[in-house]
Amino acid sequence: MKEVFAMLLPHHCTLCPRACGADRAAGQRGFCGADDTLRVARAALHHWEEPCLSGDPDAATGSGTVFFCGCTLRCCYCQNFPISQGSVGKEITPERLAGIFLDLQNGGAKNLNLVTASQYLPWVTAALDIARAQGLALPVVYNTGGYETVEAVKALAGYVDIWLADYKYADSALAAELSAARDYPAVADAALRQMLVQTGVPVYDADGYLHKGVIVRHLALPGHVEDSKAVLRRLAALREETGVAFVPSLMSQFTPFYKAAEHGLGRRITTYEYRQVIDEAVRLGLTDGYMQEKSSAREEYTPPFDLEGV
């Protein structure tokens, strides 16, 4: 198994849209910070995803989240910055990752939620193959910032049941300033289009849990209402062009983490700003989903990256 897996490691990495070309098989780090090792920071039941994933926050179950280290984006306001930009995390093998998946299933998870896993795509698919051979039967959620290549989305066909994707920006200059990704709008648009046509319309079980489909998140940022409205217009256009419904999820939980204040994001979004975003979503008919309450902007909703479950 180890010899076969080694053949999957990229010598010239193009797993993400940056195509930085790092020889990760030789231990070179890519833009994402990852090298030839697999690093994970936390694996546990999470109760604060959308209700169709996590269910009742007071229940014993939840979404079985695995937080991967590193990231292909560099968002200045990242709430997970200790693992996306820092060194927090533990090196594990694909076999151990498969064991983590099975542990979450045995612990009552309603789904397997892979958070920021794109830089480890070969590791993740190998681990899923191992776990499925050993009885993994949970729907797989791919929790992504939306910065994916179409080829990566296609490679995950048959592995991913639910895409939980951000659509962060419509403006390239804003994407460049806040996430170091000027091409983000075009990349996210193409990736989401592929997710929709590949996955199809949302399918729920008898208890209201999502088993297949696409959830598209948009985090409204303070001072950038017009860009949020532009994102929503793009999403409405994608829905019309593909003919595939998705679950919109508008989020108000922005909190000025990390380097946010250095980029004019030193405050939370106001009720008036968020109301404008909601009104635009209603105007566009993007209402068959979730609109987060303003009270969700709380630091305690960010989990501790204490290597639990790893």
CA dihedral 162, 163, 164, 169 (to 10 degrees): -160
Q: What is the phi/psi pair of residue 82, to 5°? A: -60, -25
Q: What is the pLDDT of residue 3?
A: 47
Q: What is the pLDDT of residue 4?
A: 45
Q: What is the pLDDT of residue 299?
A: 54
Q: What is the pLDDT of residue 87?
A: 82
Its pTM stands at 0.95
Residue ranges in the chain whose pLDDT is less than 70: 1-8, 294-301
How much is the CA Rg of the chain, to the nearest whole Å?
18
pLDDT digits (tens, 9 = 90+) for 112-146: 999 999 999 999 999 999 999 999 999 999 999 99
**List of long-range contacts for 57-60, beta carbons under 8 Å, 24+ apart:** 60/108
Burial call 274-305: b when 16+ CB within 10 Å, e when fewer: bebbbebbeebebeebbbbeeeebeeeeebeb
pLDDT digits (tens, 9 = 90+) for 217-250: 999 999 999 999 999 999 999 999 999 999 999 9
Q: What is the pLDDT of residue 1?
A: 45
Residue 70 contacts by C-beta under 8 Å, 6 or more apart in sequence?
32, 33, 34, 39, 83, 84, 116, 119
Q: Tokens 């105007």 map to which residue?
A: 283
Q: What is the pLDDT of residue 304?
A: 87
CATH topology of domain 42-301: TIM Barrel (3.20.20)
Distance between CA atoms of 257 and 97, rounded to whole angstroms?
A: 29
